[in-house]
Structure 1
Amino acid sequence: MAQWIVDYLPTWNIIRISGIAAYLLLFVGVFLGIAQGMPMAKGKPKAVMFKWHTRTTWLAFGLGIVHGLTLIVDHYSPFTWSELFLPFTASVHPVGSGLGTLAFYGLVIVLLSSDLRDRLGRKWWFLFHMLSYPVFVGLLIHGLVTGSDSGNVFIRMMYVFTGLSMIGITVLRGMLRERKGPEITIGPKQTPPESRTERKWAEAYGLAVPAGQEQFNR
């Protein structure tokens, strides 16, 4: 019965749809993560963006698992387990497939580091979370190289739009942070230089929750 189901699964369509959907959800997740760190993002809108940043990233992870496992039972060009888990060993599009595997591992690290943030500390959490950028780039290249629909003009435009949007919002966030000006401290309050620098860079790219926001999001 199980083999019959596998034989008649539209594996090729599942691979295509889950791959594109996972990429788009990751784009939305990273984009919202940067956007919620903008100086004008405050209060409830900021909390909503942070919530959907987390949800869409986890949904992308789930669809990535579906995408990978379906490759094992694909009728046309099935992957072996070693080709799926060992980067650059696939017989078809080894470079593009390898980037997809590495991007998946990077996404696992990003998600785990978020859950272990209190134990890791801000410095290590920030370093791990910055993997979101190479993960996104890796999946973009993976889709362009290995995607059966990457030759379609609309799919190609989708990759161009999402790539340029990510560059644009990253540059904009950095410019807004620079224009904010120096921090003004009243009274004896002192912030260690290292912690302040880490906080500044984390908030600059939307990777940190501003002070007082942690309990609000929970």
Structure 2
Amino acid sequence: MIWYIARGAGVMALVLLTVSLTLGIATRQGKPLAGLPRFAIATVHRNASLIGLGLVLVHVLTLLFDSYADLNPIDLLVPFVGSYQPFWLGLGTLAFDLLLIVLVTSLNRARLGLRTWRAIHWAAYAIWPIALAHALGTGTDAAQVWMGVLAVACTTTVATAVTWRFVT
């Protein structure tokens, strides 16, 4: 049961972080998207980020109790030290650490100033491909057709948003 919760939370976190990254790219452009005002897109972006982070926490914390993964608390914070698939797990840990940095700095955006916050917030561009690589490298569903389709859909969505941002 724990394994299914961890897997489901991880997959849904990837989907929501894809939505968040895509909408973050869209709001940065400053133009309305699909006729929606910028504040609406920003609100969905923020909520998708927070729900995605919550799902990442569920994913990580449930794996602490999974005997197969055999993780300890240090594996959740220090990349590449775990005994279970250290490289792929380390990518997930790295993405988690970067996600926490983006969260903490976003919560302190007013204290940091816009320029500093924006520079740190660019880490979100790194988080997404690292998390995708983690999902495909360590995920038990990586060989399943549905996961391949999901990975292609997420990649296409992000690639389209990045292309749109640099073309317009």
Structure 1 residue 118, shift from structure 2 partner: 1.6
Query: Which residue of structure 1 lines up, in the alignment, with residue 26 of structure 2?
Result: 35
Matches within 5 A, 1:54-93: 54-93=46-85
106, 112, 135: which is aligned to 1:114? Answer: 106
The 10-residue stretch of structure 1 (153-162 or 48-57) with the greater mean CA deviation from structure 2: 153-162
Shift of 1:36: 2.3
Alignment match, 2:3: 12
Gaps in structure 1 of 5+ consecutive residues? 1-9, 177-218
| 1:140 equivalenced with 2:129 (yes/no) | no
User: Does structure 2 conserve the Cα–Cα contact (< 8 Å) formed by 1:22 and 1:63?
Assistant: yes
Structure 2: give runs of 5+ residues left out of the alignment: none
Match of 1:88, SS state, is coil
Cα distance, 1:104 vs structure 2: 0.8
Identity %: 34
- Aligned-partner SS, 1:41: coil
Compared CA separation, residues 36 and 157, structure 1 to 2 (3 A): same
Partner of 2:29: helix, strand, or coil?
A: coil
Whether the aligned pair in 1 keeps the contact of 2:77 and 2:97 (CA below 8 Å) is no
For 2:23, give the aligned amino acid. L
| In structure 1, C-alpha distance between the alignment counterparts of 2:4 and 2:137, rounded to whole Å | 17
* CA distance in structure 2 between the partners assigned to 1:59 and 1:74 by the alignment: 23
Residue 137 of structure 1: CA displacement? 0.9
Flag the structure with larger Rg. Answer: 1
Letter in 1 for 2:151: Y
Q: CA RMSD in A?
A: 1.6
Deviation at 1:44, TM superposition (A): 5.2
- Distance between the aligned counterparts of 1:76 and 1:103, measured in 2? 22
Greater fraction of residues in helix: 2
- Amino acid of the structure 2 residue aligned with 1:86: V
What SS class does the counterpart of residue 74 from structure 1 fall into? coil
Match of 2:122 among 119, 122, 130: 130
| Residues 160-171 of structure 1 aligned to structure 2 (within 5 Å) | 160-171=152-163
Please name the residue that 1:185 is paired with: none
Q: What SS does the corresponding residue of 2:37 show, helix, strand or coil?
A: helix
Report how far residue 39 of structure 1 moved: 4.8
Q: Which one of the candidate residues 149, 159, 165 is aligned to 2:151?
A: 159
Q: Report how far residue 164 of structure 1 moved.
A: 2.5
Deviations 1:148-194 (A, max 9, x none): 10101121121122112212211211111xxxxxxxxxxxxxxxxxx
TM-score, L = length of structure 1 = 0.72
